[in-house]
Amino acid sequence: MRVLIIGAAGMLGAKLAAALVARGIGGRPVTALTLADVVAPRAPAGFVGALRTLAVDLAAPGTAAALVERRPEVIFHLAAIVSGEAEADFDKGYAINLDASRALFDAIRAQGPGYCPRLVFTSSTAVFGTPFPAVIGDEFHAAPRSSYGTQKAMTELLLNDYSRRGFLDGVALRLPTICIRPGAPNRAASGFFSNILREPLAGRPAILPVRDSLRHWFASPRAAVGFLERAAAMDTGPLQVDRALNMPGLSATVAEEIEALRRVAGQTAVDLIRVEPDPAIAAIVETWPQRFDTARAHALGFRAEADFDQIIAVHLSDEADARGRPA
């Protein structure tokens, strides 16, 4: 079982690599693992198979071909320019989120007949834009209102067509906002959803740039890794020509996030949140969907958390495990 993770230095990539080392894919152990990102990813603990950790520019000519030349059976495409940065830097967003994705798909196709890997692509609920109903179902059309969402939607269409033609066996996962993200804040417009919980839990101040009545769609990093694992091993036959799935999640307001924080860590933690409205961030996240009916994904076995108390508990558990591991 040969596996390639592109975007492996990121939070999800690192957690996914550790999960694959521990559990394999569909009951099969991973024997060869290539981890690629713009910086060299860290090797996962305990892996005894063939390992490559590569620092690459996915947008550079020849990079995609080099990544797939060993014909990995499963490819996880997690690499992306995040939402806020894709909006601020138009050229960079398209170069990585769209052009590099097509280069990857074409590199797979260039391997010729007999090679059709499972390709799991992390898309986003940002492919949907206003106006949308209170609850978005599986048949609702993609009409993004951001450059990031547009780039993800275009890559989904390419994935559908390349899968239809038999060049690859693709699954696109429209991930909820992942919360609580560990580590330092990034440039994602959605970053504050994690910051207002993670930082106060650690005794640090956090900034809330939007109204607390804003409703959004969430899942934990642990749930997201579970989505990726399931997509790698599932029977894609039921997907037919539509390879994009809305992932299960939790619909909650910012105020509900803060109430969960109060229940877990008390008013002292809540008092560390400072309201500083940011119209640029609000303009992006206000166009994102708030609630989904994910019957299609549920029927295929995908699951997420039911409330923010669970999401906070997952974060505290995973962070405690991370601190307990040797460096």
Annotated catalytic residues are 148
Contacts with 249 (C-beta within 8 Å, 6 or more apart), sequence order: 176, 217, 218, 219, 223, 292, 294, 304, 305
Query: How many angstroms separate the CA atoms of 221 and 179, rounded?
Result: 7
For residues 230 and 302, the answer to whether their CB atoms sit within 8 Å is yes
DSSP 22-70: HH-BTTBPP-EEEEEESSPPPPPTT--SEEEEEE--TTSTTHHHHHHTT
Q: Which residues contact 136 (CB under 8 A, 6 or more apart)?
A: 128, 246, 289, 291, 292, 293
Strand partners, 244: 172
% helix, strand, coil for the chain, step of 5: 45, 20, 40
Distance CA 58, CA 306 (A): 36
Q: How far apart are CA 104 and CA 165, in angstroms?
A: 16
User: CA angle, 143 as apex, 158 and 292 as ends, to 5°?
Assistant: 100
